[in-house]
Amino acid sequence: MCGIFGYIGDKKTAPSIVLKGLKTLEYRGYDSWGVAVVPEKKTTEKVIVVKKKAGKIGNADVVDMPEGSLAFGHTRWATHGGVTDKNAHPHLDCTKTIAVIHNGIVENYEKLKTKLEGLGHRFVSETDTEVIAHLVEEYLKKYSVLPRDAAPAFSKAVQATFQELEGLNAIIVINTAAEEMVAARNGSPLVAGFGHGENYLASDPAALLPHTKQVHFLEDDEMVIVSKGGIHIFNAHTGQRVRPRKQLLTWTAEETEKGKFPYFMLKEIHEQAGLLSEIASESPEQSILIARELKKAPRVYMVGAGTSAHAARAASYFFSLIAGKLVNYGVASEFDHRLSVIPKDGALMALSQSGETMDLLEVVKKAKEKNIKIFSLVNVVGSTLWRMSDEHLAIGAGPEKGVASTKSFITKIAHLLLIAYAMTDKVKEGQKNLIKAAKSTKIVTSKAHTHAIMALAKKLKDEQHLYIIGHGLSYCAALESALKIKEISYIHAEGIPAGELKHGTLALVTKGTVCVVFAPRDEHYQSTMANAMEMKARGGYIIGISDKNEEIFDEFLQVPDAGIATIIPNIIVAQMLAYYLTIERGFDPDMPRNLAKSVTVK
């Protein structure tokens, strides 16, 4: 869940390079940050210099840190220990010549800490991470050799330390004797970047784009030694050399910038119309290939986490309505019980923006152990999910830096719609519907429509609760819309199947209760209107999202009809409402409290 960035090269401004790298990772969410550098000046008491703080980076700088060509940094979400300066990463050993940054949870840290304290080590933080620094220190004593052989001893000490850690972890370690970063991963993502006379490590490939596009995604139980002269990869257990799998990133550095927009989320909302047009016009070969495979499978299961789980639910409607294919969908963290009933000739499709969501990867790993074929829709090409899949499709959303998913959700929906049509050899019809959705999206994100949404946000900014209803695909839209409003504006929002109102939720509707109604012109239109009337009769304040204004609507946001793809512009309207509610309430839509972009721990 945390951000990692490391640099080694010819430049003496490594701390500044690292701090800039951390700023590109702020969107992942964090509550503290820190940078460590090996000072360039040689002294008899050379120690690693660390600057770390609780809170956001903001306008902080590292001008007070010494020059150096080897540095790394970290943005932390607290797991073990509170949000304090001492608990922020990096962490040092007793000699202050070894520094560690770490993503994940060391499950056996209490046992390791007790052992290390018995050996005389003194801890200054409450974190599980600090045991790693002291453990490397202890192993370095064991492997200590002549100074000219310090590097091999250091990497061996890191390797032995990593082997002692229980749980899913990614670690990077530096020391003052070896001009290198040594890292290893099991679970949490790490990416090595190849430069010219300089090399990098990061937790997210997007952070490397200003520096290089050639990367190696570390597999589980791989160890990497990164020096100025090169990147060497090994098996973290056997020590056997691994050939780098160099991959070229297709994103551009410009795509990771906000440009003219005040926040990434707004930029990403406005990119969606163009992305839909691109998907509609691209060759659908991969969609057709996946459709053929899914058509052959007697059972298809679809799984995701958070927003991706809502996309999986929507896909189940697409597949049944368009292709007549029953799809079982589920939330990754609750999917274990289904794995036992998936037949070997079944298919599992996993949906993810990052391709690193831990709950999802555990489901995929267990499915692979049963020889179940894995398909994936993923945004980050080369990610763990991408590499684990038998067939994969890049959703092509580009870098998404707002924590609240927008364009990656919409592009998943678009590709799933095409796959459903491809299963009936009607992919061109799917493309036509996406073109309609793109045109509708352009209209709902136009200035006139934006002003209407902004005005509505002003009216609703002090509300504590709102309810969102819909039938069929519009229920999926209601769930996703409620999630967007909750996660960034902190207003309690609940997505409800319109037909379920009488089974409990109507008890909460009183005079002035805000009720959002998705009412596309589909087969559910009349029943949706009847359900909206039930809320209206009890005093509900009805906000209609439809292509037609109805008398029962107190507020109306028009969405031009796009057939079965109307779910797309409907959700985009809700994304915009969530965004402007957040702005009106004085919060940051890009970095909501307590949340991270990629959940890489359980």
Question: C-alpha distances in angstroms, 322 versus 318, 330, 416, 418?
Answer: 6, 20, 11, 10
How far the first Cα of the chain sits from its last, in Å, is 10
556 phi/psi in degrees, rounded to 5: -135, 125
Q: Output the pLDDT for position 507.
A: 87
More confident residue, 383 or 582: 582
Assigned CATH topology for domain 446-587: Rossmann fold (3.40.50)
Q: Output the pLDDT for position 1.
A: 54
- For residue range 74-93, list pLDDT tens digits in order: 998 777 788 899 999 999 99
Q: How would you classify residue 96: left for phi > 0, otherwise alpha for psi between -120 and 50, otherwise beta? A: left
Residue 150 banded pLDDT, cuts 50, 70, 90: low
If you average pLDDT over residues 197-209, what whole number do you get?
Answer: 92
**Same fold flag, 3-255 and 260-445:** no
Among residues 2, 23, 267, 373, the one annotated as catalytic is 2
Among residues 51, 401, 484, 597, the one annotated as catalytic is 597
- For residue range 320-368, list pLDDT tens digits in order: 999 999 999 999 988 888 888 888 888 999 999 999 988 999 999 999 9
Q: Output the pLDDT for position 600.
A: 59
If we measure between CA atoms, which residue out of 308, 306, 298 comes closest to residue 352?
308
Measured CA to CA, the distance from residue 467 to residue 515 in angstroms comes to 5
Any catalytic annotation for residue 366? no
Helix (H/G/I), strand (E/B), else coil: 523? coil
If you average pLDDT over residues 63-83, what whole number do you get?
Answer: 89
DSSP code of 532?
Answer: H
Out of 149-153, 265-269, 385-389, 465-469, least confident range: 149-153
More confident residue, 382 or 150: 382
Residue with tokens 């073990």: 80
- For residue range 528-547, list pLDDT tens digits in order: 999 999 999 999 999 999 99
For 549-558, b/e burial (b = at least 16 CB within 10 A) is: ebeebebebb
What residue spans define the domains of the chain? 3-255, 260-445, 446-587
Burial (CB < 10 A; 0-12, 13-18, 19+), residue 118, is: exposed
Q: Output the pLDDT for position 257.
A: 82
Sheet holding 230-235, edge to edge: 91-92, 98-104, 169-175, 181-186, 222-227, 230-235, 241-242
- For residue range 258-311, list pLDDT tens digits in order: 888 999 999 999 999 999 999 999 889 999 999 999 999 999 999 999 999 999
Is the previous residue joined to 497 through a cis bond, with omega within 30 degrees of 0?
no
Residue 481: in which H helix or E strand, if any? helix 473-489
CA dihedral over 149, 154, 157, 158, signed as positive or negative? negative
Q: Say yes or no to pLDDT of 5 above 70.
A: yes
470 phi/psi in degrees, rounded to 5: -175, 160
- CATH for 260-445 is 3.40.50.10490
More confident residue, 144 or 157: 157
If you average pLDDT over residues 41-57, what whole number do you get?
Answer: 83
CA dihedral over 405, 408, 409, 410, signed as positive or negative? positive
Let me know the angle formed at the C-alpha of 447 by 555 and 258, rounded to the nearest 5 degrees: 115
Any catalytic annotation for residue 141? no
Q: Say yes or no to pLDDT of 15 above 90.
A: yes
Let me know the angle formed at the C-alpha of 75 by 72 and 77, rounded to the nearest 5 degrees: 145
If you average pLDDT over residues 468-497, what whole number do you get?
Answer: 96
Measured CA to CA, the distance from residue 115 to residue 137 in angstroms comes to 13
Out of 18-32, 193-207, 257-271, 388-402, least confident range: 18-32
CA 120 to chain centre: 40
Measured CA to CA, the distance from residue 281 to residue 250 in angstroms comes to 19
Q: Output the pLDDT for position 599.
A: 67
Q: Output the pLDDT for position 291.
A: 94
Measured CA to CA, the distance from residue 309 to residue 329 in angstroms comes to 8
Q: How would you classify residue 220: left for phi > 0, otherwise alpha for psi between -120 and 50, otherwise beta? A: beta
Q: Does domain 3-255 have CATH number 3.40.50.1220?
A: no
Measured CA to CA, the distance from residue 269 to residue 256 in angstroms comes to 14
